[in-house]
A and B are shown apart, each in its own frame.
Chain A
Amino acid sequence: MEKLFLSEFPELSRETLRFIKKGFDTSYRAFSREYGDTIEAVFDPVLYFLVWFEKLLQNSPWPLVLICFLAIIYFGSRKISVTIGSLFAFLLIGIFGMWEDTMSTVSIIGVCTLLSIGIGIPVGVLMAKSERAQRICTPILDVMQTMPSFVYLIPVVMLLGIGKIPGLLAVVIYAIPPIIRLTNLGIREVDSEVLEAADAFGANPRQKLFQIQLPLALPTIFAGINQTIMMALAMVVIASMIGVKGLGQPVLKAITNQYFAMGLFNGLAIVALAIIFDRVSQSFGHRIQQHRSGARE
């Protein structure tokens, strides 16, 4: 029987749809066969650095690593409470046998954050300086933030296979938008009167950027870095699905095998890392705004 036009949405025939999808997949496969190696080679230095960093954290004596961490935490937050809290968290993590996985996670989060800062801040600056860049970047960032991460894992895995680099890419794609957006926002929010004063004294665009816009945007940029770190941590489990080592893998194993305790311990370790990263980066962010509050230290 003929279907009513209005009750059924007029869709492409199954044949056509299959043809389109197949064509798309085939050409992408051809592309990845052609260029996969080249693209992989591009990421080699990053991979090299990531592996070196992970090995450094895992193979150094744990007390040394712990002391380094605590020193960084103390100088970042200048808070004894945060430092002591972190000490207990790391001790518990170690006692419960998650030290090695935690080091892997810290290393990949660290590298992802550095990459995000290295790429995100320049892109944010570009967006702040050019309306056109902002018009182009905003929808791309929207897609990056809303596209389910599994969807872009597919082409990344097709292109680069399973391993650290595709995981890294997935994390960076997911985590980079906040730092770009907040760099852009922070620079655009800089008081126009202050910029006019800089113009009146003959500052060139570079001097304005480095002496006025970036320093004044820094608190906002730091909020972005904080967000980026949090989002990178949130991606740890998903990244473990494509072979990234760390706290995500035991969680994944726990899900598939219904090991509740194992999932809980590793999940809590991720939470502990998140809280430490958050407190340290937030209080560091507050401290660089000292001109807004009390006297100088």
Chain B
Amino acid sequence: MSEIKIQIKNLYKIFGKSPKSALEKVKDGVNKDELLEKHNHVLGLKDINLDIKEKSIQVVMGLSGSGKSTLIRHINRLIEPTDGSVVVDDENVLKMNDENLRNFRRTKTAMVFQRFALLPHKTVLENTMFGLHIQNIDEKEANTKARRWIDRVGLSGYEEKYPQHLSGGMQQRVGLARALTNDGEILLMDEAFSALDPLIRKDMQDILLELQDELHKTVVFITHDLDEALKIGDRIAILKDGIMDQEGIPADILLSPKTQYVRDFVEDVNRARVIKAKHIMSELNGQDRDNAMFVDQDDFIDRFIDKVISDKPNCLIVKNKNNDEIGYLSTKRLSEILKR
């Protein structure tokens, strides 16, 4: 389908005094608890393989201590791995020298942090320009760009305020504006919305999705919240204790969880609000159009379930944006999915 933007291969991270020797033990099959107890090393990540597609939102989900924040910091090498490789656009990030790494961070990536990490002594405008200042970009150009993004995230009029005078949600908008002003192809978001209260979080998720529709960046989004993951992720990777349990599109993870951990995770999710028609449709083979109902491929089940109950169609025909018929969905399959 689309190109692979970031390729993470056999990535290991072990924290401790001599990670290299601990690595041997992990490769020989020593598990996390044993490594900590007997060898006094912490297993951060174990054999992570992940291909992140260009222009998509890849969510990495896990509870605290699962290694998800460690993983995202390997992509721009804020953390040095113990073993493995991270390739972005055919270039191994882990082989770059300091200068190349700085250039890579300046031009290709931008990061949004859980606790905002704004510069307290600089105004909203100066914070937003930070990435461009680092690149020594002309002041006037930086100013114009920064103001555009401040406006875009809804903070016009706050340019001269200091971060401390803004609410959490507004501070994170500054964080987002700062990252977007940098205009890298890769947006790294480390639990970017986790510190915000639910309503504001929903707002921010909507802003992100709206922006993504137009910017098409490669987004790596870390979260511990499954609802958030399902809402914004094109694909979701689930981490547990530094190991990747499952990776796939949201519907796959919901409908066929691979491990008990993932099963527990997805148990209470309201499927009707997460699964889209295209996720569960089957191929067309001459379905009867009499008494059929038409749905859009990106419609969630809960958008058309009421109508299905009241109209009692024979089957549902799924259409794409150009109004082509691309699949069908039987009412029986629909009820099976909702019942499970």
Chain A interfacial positions (CB closer than 8 Å to B): 191, 193-194, 196-204, 207, 211-212, 215-216, 291-292, 295-296
Contact = CB atoms under 8 A, between A and B. Distances in A.
Contacts of B104: 202
B110 A201 contact: yes
Contacts of A292: 120, 164
B110 A193 contact: no
Contacts of B120: 191, 194, 216, 291-292
A32 to B, nearest CB: 46
Given A196-B78, A203-B134, A296-B162, 4 more contacts: A197-B118, A201-B105, A202-B106, A216-B119
A200 B78 contact: yes
Interface string B66-90: 0000000000101000000000000
A201 B119 contact: no
A216 B121 CA distance: 7
Interface in B151-180: 160, 162-165, 178
Nearest to B103: A202
A277 B135 CA distance: 40
A197 B134 contact: no
Contact of B134 (A196, A201, A215): A201
A215 B117 contact: no
Contacts of B133: 211
A221 to B, nearest CB: 13
Given A211-B133, A291-B162, A292-B164, A200 B121 contact: no
Nearest to B175: A197
A296 B178 CA distance: 22
Interface residues of B, number: 33
Contacts of A194: 117-120
Contact of A215 (B76, B110, B121): B121
B117 A202 contact: no
Contacts of B122: 291
A200 B135 contact: no
Interface string B96-121: 00000111111101110101011111
Which residue of B118, B121, B122 has the most chain A CB atoms within 10 A of its CB atom?
A: B121
14 contacts: A193-B115, A194-B117, A198-B134, A200-B78, A200-B110, A201-B105, A201-B110, A201-B131, A201-B134, A202-B102, A202-B134, A203-B102, A291-B163, A295-B165
Of A198, A201, A211, the most chain B CB neighbours within 10 A belong to A201
Nearest to A204: B102
B297 interface: no
Contacts of A203: 102, 134
A203 B162 CA distance: 21
A118 to B, nearest CB: 23
A218 to B, nearest CB: 8
A291 B110 contact: no
B159 to A, nearest CB: 12
A199 B105 contact: yes
